[in-house]
Amino acid sequence: MKKSHIFIIVIIAVAVAIIVSSTNDASTYVTFTEAYKMASSGKSKSIHVVGDLKKDASGKVVGIEAGADKVSFSFVMVDEGGKEQKVYYNQPMPQDFIRSEKVVVIGGYKGEDFHAEKILLKCPSKYQEQTLNAGV
Amino acid sequence: MIHYFIGNLGHFFVITSFVAALVAFFSYFKATVTQDIDKKQGWLLNGRISFYVHALAVLGIVVTLFIIIKNHYFEYHYAYSHSDKKLPAHYLISTFWNGQEGSFLLWMFWHAVLGIVIILTNKFWEGPVMTVFSVVQAFLTSMILGVVLPGLELKIGSSPFILLRDAMPDPIFTVQPDFIPQDGAGLNPLLQNYWMVIHPPTLFLGFAATLVPFSFCIAGLWLKRYREWVRPALPWSLFAGAILGLGILMGGYWAYETLNFGGYWNWDPVENAVYVPWLILIASIHTMITYKNSETALKASIILVISVFILILYSTFLTRSGVLGDASVHSFTDLGLSGQLLLYLLFFMVVAIALAIIRWKEIPSSKTEISTYSREFWIFIGATVLCLMGFQVLVPTSFPAWNQLVESFGGTSNLALPGDQVEYFSKFQIWFAIAIGFLSAIGQFFWWKKIDRKELVNQLFGPFVLALLGAVIIINIARVYNFGYVLLLFAGLFTVISNAKILYSILKSSPALSGGAVAHIGVGLMLVGILFSSGYSKVVSLNNTGMLISRQLSEEFNRENLLLFVHEPRDMAGYQIEYIGERIEPRYKSGFIKKSDVEYTDDPYTVVAKQDITFKNKLLYKAGERFEINPENTFYEIEFRKNGKVVFVQYPRLQVNPRFGNMASPDINHKATLDLYSYISAPMTEEAKEDWSEPEELTIKRTAQFFANDYVATVESLNRIYEIGGQKIDSSFVAIKAEILVRGEKQEYVAEPILIIGTQSRGGIMPGVIPELGLKISLINVHPQTDELTLNIFTRQKDWVVIKALEKPFVNVLWIGTLVLMTGFSIAMMRRFREFKLMKTKGQE
């Protein structure tokens, strides 16, 4: 076998190893129900849940509670399967939180509560304002 | 009145540039395939003229869009959604590329400039290279075309010249079609930073420059000139490598200064999307240089040069199609262009790969086996490591695209990036970086010396021992005990020292060739800088009071953050630090001003100086002067003292913007070996500021001393006043202002409560507040007969702020390393440019 062939085989092996390890280390997008099942079966890997903030009929966000220290907070999130879940986040509220259209929480269940380590927001409004500040 | 003309003109330029690009494409294509010399010249001239027309039209679009922004024509969607009247002139420039359309425009603009440079400098390659350029430009222009195909309802491109009423279906436009908002929605405050004025143009110039080697490569394959394209492409690859690298680093520096994740690199998908093509670009430079010297690695060069451009397109697709939606904080949202972007990506991918496959058999390659002791072998290994390094980042970054792909075929895939991206990527990338470090040290020796095993050991022994010695010393001083870190430190030092040795010998013989050695020294310094600043970044704001900031916060937050009450010193990082108070900044002068030194007016941007305002012993404003401030920004003055002397003062910033929310930016104290980086992790909220106690009512003699929240206070004066905040008081009211002096621990404060007595209607009470002391005093009654007055005293917690501070050792080594790397690129570019001039005089290019 030529040296260059060995070389190519080694490269392919490394590339495959990278793909396999990436997929193994990957987190996954799941619903709250699945996340709960995973947690109770002992899998502690942090997962992603996508959903919306709970809103009342007039479109106002409801269920946000500030901690007594006014720094940490909790909120109610509705996942894509429609399940409501109270999510705790022990850091200050991220910028744009209330205005976000879609929320991704990364974290896991501790008992019955979902604790988020990180929150990602999707705000179409960040770059594309949807409504006008009319009259201003 | 709506300014229709300017928008129509802009749209006209867009259409012109699109059509001209297509004509240029056709003409250059014909010029390349036509054999007849006269006809060829005719087509070339046609192509050239059309490309010039195209370039002029692009310039026209840029100028018109800028006029719209500059003149605040808010009837246009672009101006409305990205700017407002308060924006300073230099940020109007960043407005220009804030939106997707503008950043496409920037990219096109650089392509047009580079295209003209090619036309003016290159005779032989003009036809085929400009064919590729023109078709790329046609695709890009179509992105801002903003045309809806009738009947099909198919939207092509998103125009920057669209009117607000067409972009936003707001009910006001049905009532009042000519409605123009008074002010725009504003620019994201995060982007109001000088780096955002220069970072995007640099990055896009780097993006644009990768098109040049790609075009030469395609031209070479097309004309079957498999060897000749490398020569003219190489200097452009070097140029692209330097500019793109600089652009990426500028983005990192912006993040370091503006965001508060505590670093310059976050492994966000948007960052990864430019990092990967840059690595592959560097790999391609290495294989091209190898080819130029030894006729090997031509096929590898072709593959890599094509990959770089495809990856640039792929990264554009990822960041702009909305695919990254759930995965990245700062990708653009979909403008409905994802189909078009995908088409763009696939078109060039298919054409380039197909062309390479068709020509593959004809591409010359060397038949001889490469020796392990040849320089080609080692450089090839280096290029391979760079590619794998990129591949490792590319795979997880592509998860969102992969999910979409699987779902579009009906499957389910829900892969997501690991929760802690920084930790995840670092744990892999460090090993590649170590390999790069060792290879840059050894590879350079192979490059300059034809050596065998014995000679290699001789040459490398000195640098090896020196690096080892240096590493051992640093390991002991800095306590580097992590195995990977030790290796990376050693690899970095080894690279710096070996290349310094090579540089020394080259400088004696042929300094023009020193680019490679200089660039690799830069790489070594960067590795060491990254290792220390990231690997040994240390939280110094440790809560050593034994008291929790709050029980509801995580243990980590309580441990790593410091609660500072105003004028209560704490120990941190070897300093005694003291929070002094909240400050505001004037718009047109530099300096920080106490909030209590100004009186606010109805316009949040305008304040009146209550007294002479000085900053660092310089008079900024006289008492009574009106001036403008940036009301969104609050700065928190924190003094750092050693042995009772103030060493420096930091002003971390909190930006409050109703549209974009709160954003804390750090203040950084730079020292040669260490950066001290502090930011506000929790500001005192408005609720906490208004959380006053029940009032304590106090009736005192006008001249008596009294206690307010345990501070000694006296009434200095009691006067009738005739205006408040510049407004005359109606004669049916009598206003009395008390000036109350309160002696704090550090300084005296004045509270000025006002009592307004109405002769016909009810009056009012305006309390005086001293937030630094947590004190609010209202004047509720005066008794002239007894020379007494009655006060209400309210107390709350003194002003506080929670900060987090980090020490970042040797960040400067990273920045210096970057500059050295850029210098290396420039030297190499100069050399290749001289080569080019030589070829040109020979008439070969």
- Measured between CA atoms, how close is B366 to chain A, in angstroms? 12
- For residues B185 and B665, what is the distance between their CA atoms, to the nearest angstrom? 22
Using a CB-CB cut-off of 8 Å, the residues of chain A touching B182 are: 136
Q: Which residues 619-648 in chain B show a CB within 8 A of chain A?
A: none
pLDDT of residue B114: 97
Q: What is the pLDDT of residues A37-86, one digit of tens each?
A: 887 777 667 788 888 888 887 777 787 877 665 567 788 888 888 888 88
The DSSP bridge partners found for residue B600 are B607
CB contact under 8 A, A120 and B326: yes
Two tokens at B5?
């003309």
- For residues A19 and B394, what is the distance between their CA atoms, to the nearest angstrom? 10
The answer to the question of residue B284 being in a domain is yes
Q: Name the pLDDT band for A125 (thresholds 50, 70, 90).
A: very low
B338 in Cβ contact with B428 (< 8 Å): no
Q: Which residues 63-92 in chain B show a CB within 8 A of chain A?
A: 80-81
Q: Would you say residue A134 has pLDDT above 60?
A: no
CB contact under 8 A, B168 and A97: no
Neighbours of B415 (CB within 10 A): 18
Q: Token pair 């867009």 is at which residue? A: B14
Q: Distance of alpha carbon B232 from its chain centroid, rounded?
A: 32
The answer to the question of residue B833 being in a domain is no
Q: Which of A1, A14, A22 to mutate to test the interface with B (most CBs of B within 10 A)?
A: A22
Q: Name the pLDDT band for B667 (thresholds 50, 70, 90).
A: very high
- Measured between CA atoms, how close is B674 to chain A, in angstroms? 28
pLDDT of residue B392: 94
| One-character DSSP codes across B91-123 | HHHHHHTTSHHHHHHHHHHHHHHHHHHHHHH-S
B684 in Cβ contact with B800 (< 8 Å): yes
pLDDT of residue A126: 38
Closest residue, chain A, to B78 (C-alpha): A128
Q: Distance of alpha carbon B273 from its chain centroid, rounded?
A: 14
Q: What is the pLDDT of residues B70-85, one digit of tens each?
A: 999 999 989 988 888 8
B240 in Cβ contact with B206 (< 8 Å): yes
- Taking residues B734-760, what's their average pLDDT? 86
- Taking residues B469-482, what's their average pLDDT? 84
Q: What is the pLDDT of residues B372-385, one digit of tens each?
A: 777 788 888 999 99
CB contact under 8 A, A92 and B681: yes
What are the DSSP E strand ranges found in B399-503?
415-416
Q: CB distance from A2 to chain B under 8 Å?
A: yes
Q: CB distance from B164 to chain A under 8 Å?
A: yes
The domains found in chain A, sorted by start residue, are 27-126 (2.40.50.140)
* Lowest-confidence segment of B176-180, B389-393, B668-672, B735-739 by average pLDDT: B176-180
- Residue B33, judged by CB atoms within 10 A of its CB (0-12, 13-18, 19+), counts as middle
CB contact under 8 A, A27 and B549: no
- Measured between CA atoms, how close is B577 to chain A, in angstroms? 23
- Measured between CA atoms, how close is B99 to chain A, in angstroms? 7
Using a CB-CB cut-off of 8 Å, the residues of chain B touching A133 are: 181, 185
- Taking residues B576-596, what's their average pLDDT? 89
Judge if B60 and B120 occupy the same domain: yes
Highest mean pLDDT among B19-28, B80-89, B119-128, B588-597: B19-28
Judge if B650 and B716 occupy the same domain: no
Using a CB-CB cut-off of 8 Å, the residues of chain A touching B416 are: 26-29, 47-48
CB contact under 8 A, B392 and A129: no
Neighbours of B611 (CB within 10 A): 14
H or E segment to which residue A102 belongs: strand A102-110
Two tokens at B627?
């001036």
Q: What is the pLDDT of residues B463-474, one digit of tens each?
A: 899 999 998 888
CA terminus-to-terminus distance, chain A: 76
Judge if B662 and B698 occupy the same domain: no
Judge if B169 and B256 occupy the same domain: no
Judge if B150 and B31 occupy the same domain: yes
Judge if B772 and B653 occupy the same domain: no
Judge if B671 and B695 occupy the same domain: no
Q: CB distance from A1 to chain B under 8 Å?
A: no
Q: What is the pLDDT of residues B505-526, one digit of tens each?
A: 888 888 888 899 999 999 999 9
Judge if B638 and B751 occupy the same domain: no
* Lowest-confidence segment of B3-12, B222-231, B329-338, B835-844 by average pLDDT: B329-338
pLDDT of residue B545: 77
Q: Would you say residue B820 has pLDDT above 80?
A: yes
Q: CB distance from B339 to chain A under 8 Å?
A: no
CB contact under 8 A, A69 and B551: yes
Q: How many CA atoms lie within 13 A of B182 on its CB side?
A: 4
CA terminus-to-terminus distance, chain B: 55
Q: Would you say residue B678 has pLDDT above 90?
A: yes
CA-closest candidate to residue B581, choices B798, B743, B753, B805 = B798
- Taking residues B565-594, what's their average pLDDT? 90
pLDDT of residue A43: 67
The single-letter code of the amino acid at B469 is: L
Using a CB-CB cut-off of 8 Å, the residues of chain A touching B164 are: 132
The single-letter code of the amino acid at B218 is: I
pLDDT of residue B326: 58
CB contact under 8 A, B688 and A28: no
CA-closest candidate to residue B491, choices B523, B449, B448 = B523
- B606-609 β-sheet, strand order: B598-600, B606-609, B626-628
CB contact under 8 A, B416 and A4: no
The answer to the question of residue B620 being in a domain is yes
Q: Which of B158, B389, B553 to mutate to test the interface with A (most CBs of A within 10 A)?
A: B553
- Taking residues B34-44, what's their average pLDDT? 92
Q: Which of B72, B395, B560 to mutate to test the interface with A (most CBs of A within 10 A)?
A: B395
Q: What are phi and psi of B733, to 5 degrees?
A: -120, 150
Closest residue, chain B, to A116 (C-alpha): B419
CB contact under 8 A, B395 and A117: no
Q: Would you say residue B555 has pLDDT above 80?
A: no
For chain B, the average pLDDT equals: 88
pLDDT of residue B377: 83
Percent of chain B at pLDDT > 70 equals 96
Number of domains in chain B: 4
B230 in Cβ contact with B278 (< 8 Å): no
Judge if B258 and B363 occupy the same domain: yes
Q: Which residues 167-186 in chain B show a CB within 8 A of chain A?
A: 168, 170, 172, 179, 181-183, 185
Q: Name the pLDDT band for B332 (thresholds 50, 70, 90).
A: low
Judge if B606 and B571 occupy the same domain: yes
CB contact under 8 A, B326 and A50: yes
CB contact under 8 A, B168 and A131: yes
What is the domain extent for residue B740? Answer: 689-798
- Taking residues B34-40, what's their average pLDDT? 91
What are the DSSP E strand ranges found in B245-311?
none
The answer to the question of residue B439 being in a domain is no
Using a CB-CB cut-off of 8 Å, the residues of chain A touching B550 are: 67-69, 71-72
The answer to the question of residue B767 being in a domain is yes
Q: Token pair 């009342």 is at which residue? A: A56
| One-character DSSP codes across B680-730 | EEEEPPHHHHT-PPPPEEEEEETT-EEEETTEEEEEEEEEEESEETTEEPP
| One-character DSSP codes across B546-591 | SS-S-TTS-HHHHHH-EEEEBT--EEETTEEEEEEEEEE-BSSS-S
CB contact under 8 A, B326 and A102: yes
Two tokens at B803?
């900060």
Closest residue, chain A, to B550 (C-alpha): A69
**Pick from A118, A121, A128: which is nearest to B333 by CB?**
A128
Question: Which residue, B681, B710, B728, sits at the end of a domain?
Answer: B681
CB contact under 8 A, B185 and A133: yes
Closest residue, chain B, to A51 (C-alpha): B326
| Residue B371 Rama label (left phi>0; alpha psi -120 to 50; beta) | beta
Q: CB distance from A38 to chain B under 8 Å?
A: no
A52 in Cβ contact with A101 (< 8 Å): yes
pLDDT of residue B247: 93
- Taking residues B152-174, what's their average pLDDT? 82
* ipTM > 0.85, yes or no: no
* Lowest-confidence segment of B330-334, B662-666, B669-673, B796-800 by average pLDDT: B330-334
Q: Name the pLDDT band for B448 (thresholds 50, 70, 90).
A: low
Using a CB-CB cut-off of 8 Å, the residues of chain B touching A128 are: 81, 333, 335
Judge if B10 and B42 occupy the same domain: yes
The residue count of chain B comes to 845
3-state secondary structure of B163: strand
The answer to the question of residue B293 being in a domain is yes
Q: CB distance from A112 to chain B under 8 Å?
A: no
3-state secondary structure of B155: strand
The DSSP bridge partners found for residue A107 are A47, A116
- For residues B193 and B776, what is the distance between their CA atoms, to the nearest angstrom? 37
Q: What is the pLDDT of residues B197-234, one digit of tens each?
A: 899 999 999 999 999 999 999 999 999 999 999 999 99
A107 in Cβ contact with A46 (< 8 Å): yes
Q: Token pair 């997962």 is at which residue? A: A47
Using a CB-CB cut-off of 8 Å, the residues of chain B touching A130 are: 168
Using a CB-CB cut-off of 8 Å, the residues of chain B touching A9 are: none
Q: Which residues 688-727 in chain B show a CB within 8 A of chain A?
A: 688
Roughly what angle, to the nearest 10 degrees, separates helices A3-25 and B421-448?
160
Judge if B218 and B340 occupy the same domain: yes
Residues in CB range of B692: below 8 A, 6 or more apart = B776, B794, B795, B796
CB contact under 8 A, B553 and A91: yes
The single-letter code of the amino acid at A1 is: M
Question: Which residue, B375, B391, B417, sits at the end of a domain?
Answer: B417
The answer to the question of residue B521 being in a domain is no
Question: Which residue, B397, B417, B437, sits at the end of a domain?
Answer: B417
B836 in Cβ contact with B116 (< 8 Å): no
Q: Token pair 């998103």 is at which residue? A: B158
CA-closest candidate to residue A114, choices A30, A5, A12 = A30
Q: Which residues 65-84 in chain A show a CB within 8 A of chain B?
A: 67-72
Two tokens at B40?
């060829």
The answer to the question of residue B757 being in a domain is yes
Distance set, CA B335 to CA B38, B68, B158, B659 (Å)? 46, 21, 7, 20
